[in-house]
Amino acid sequence: MKDFLRRTQRGFTSSRKPEQQIPEDLWHKCAGCKELISAKQFQDNAKVCPRCNYHERLDANEWVSLLLDPDSWQEQDAALAPADPLGFVSPKDNYAKKLQTLRESTHRQEAAISGIGTIAEQPLVLCVSDFAFMGGSMGAVVGEKVARSAERAADAGMPLLTINASGGARMHEGMLSLMQMAKVSVALARLGEAGQPHISLLLDNCYGGVTASYASAADIMLAEPRAHVGFAGPRVIEQTIRQKLPADFQSAEFLLEHGMVDMVVPRAELRAVLGRLIGLYTPKAHAVNAFASGNNGAQAFLRGA
């Protein structure tokens, strides 16, 4: 029985001859249900499996093009690059070298992009983490981008949207990484004082110091279906309690049930939900005018008269 299981696990990928392999441009194998689906259909569906609703991870640029109005994106702080403040070297790991390799392979400086854009013609500041770059981990640059985004939103009077997939604080920058949690928090507190909302969208997966700072310190919390979000990782918890965790533990649906998020939003509906939400926090020009001309009593009341 054991041998039988082992063979099946190995079989599917390794026994194939190259000519038998699926042409990648035509078919996509869903990581959720393992079914073959048309690559075009998958792409048109924003990388959500039409059969099982599995939401495949998008990179930061894909998020920008999915959510923002065409040509509205202006990236900012793209040149911010990480330093190696601890001179982190160990027998198995060399941070400076690792960054160099990643920079060349991903053509990015860091694990997040930030900028401004519009959704349904409503301006907002956006900061998106990129899981492909060191697991979206937060070092000084990610912290700086989140903090600048919050400050930019506060100064410009725009809402802030953060899209968050991260393993947590970046080990290689040590305590300076942990302190980024404090850095983003002081900036988010300023955003709060400016009366602008912070909307956090939680993706699969988001853990550690990112969950325990800006990703959870939001006015509105959204999550993608079946995203896994928590503070301690499931492996750590299993080791501590010495038992298996339930399958849906730390899933978006679990968070909703426990009152930790406002909504679980399928990817296809996100743009509409965000557009509506932002609209509710952004006074429309005509609404402001109607208020000014037609309701002086209420206005005087608000002024404290």
Partner 1 sequence: MADDQSQHGELAPWDIVQLARHPQRPHTLDYIRGLCEDFVELRGDRRFGDDRALLGGVARFNGQTVVVLGHQKGSNTKENIAHNFGSPRPEGYRKALRLMRHAEKFGFPVLAFVDTPGADPSMASEERGIGEAIAENLLVMAELKVPIVTTVIGEGGSGGALAIGVADRLLMLQYAIYSVASPEASAAILWRDASKAPDAAKAMKITAQDLYRLQIIDEIVAEPDGGAHLDMPAAIAAVSAAIQRHLDELRALPAAELRHRRYDKYRSIGVVHHAQTVALNAALS
Residues that bind partner 1 (CB under 8 A): 78-83, 85-86, 88-93, 100, 109, 139-141, 143-144, 147, 169, 171-183, 185-190, 192-193, 208-209, 211-217, 229-232, 236-237, 240-241, 245, 249-250, 258-260
Sheet strands side by side (includes 122-129): 74-76, 112-119, 122-129, 160-166, 198-206, 220-223, 263-264
Task: Give least dist CB 305 to partner 1, A.
Answer: 27
**Do 136 and 130 meet the contact criterion of CB atoms below 8 Å apart?**
yes
CB of 216 to partner 1, least distance (A): 4
Minimum CB separation from partner 1 for residue 105, in Å?
16
How far apart are CB 63 and partner 1 at their closest, in Å? 22
Identify whether the C-beta of residue 256 lies closer than 8 Å to the C-beta of residue 216.
no
Separation of alpha carbons 111 and 141, rounded Å: 8
| Other C-beta atoms lying within 10 Å of the C-beta of residue 247 | 7
Q: Which is nearer to partner 1, 42 or 159 (CB)?
A: 159
Q: Is 160 helix (H, G, I), strand (E, B) or coil?
A: strand
Question: Closer CB to partner 1, residue 41 or residue 239?
Answer: 239
C-beta of 250: minimal distance to partner 1 in Å? 6
Beta-carbon count within 10 A of 180 CB: 26
Contact, 136 vs 111, CB < 8 A? yes
Length of the chain: 305
Which are the contacts of 124, defined by CB distance < 8 A and separation ≥ 6? Answer: 116, 117, 118, 153, 158, 159, 160, 161, 278
Closest distance of CB 219 from partner 1, Å? 11
Closer of 182 and 287 to partner 1 (Cβ): 182
Of 24 and 193, which has the nearer Cβ to partner 1? 193
> Measured from the CB atom, is 58 or 187 closer to partner 1?
187
- Cα separation, 155 vs 149, whole angstroms: 10
Nearer to partner 1, 1 or 241 (CB): 241
What is the rounded CA–CA span in Å between residue 212 and residue 179?
A: 12
The least CB distance from residue 57 to partner 1, in Å, is: 20
Alpha carbon distance 77, 148 (integer Å): 9
Compute the least distance from the CB of residue 85 to partner 1, in Å.
Answer: 5
| Closest alpha carbon to 163 in 221, 250, 102, 226 | 221
Q: Between residues 239 and 299, which has the closer beta carbon with respect to partner 1?
A: 239
For partner 1, the closer CB: 46 or 229 = 229
Task: Yes or no: say if 80 and 63 are a contact pair by the CB < 8 Å rule.
Answer: no
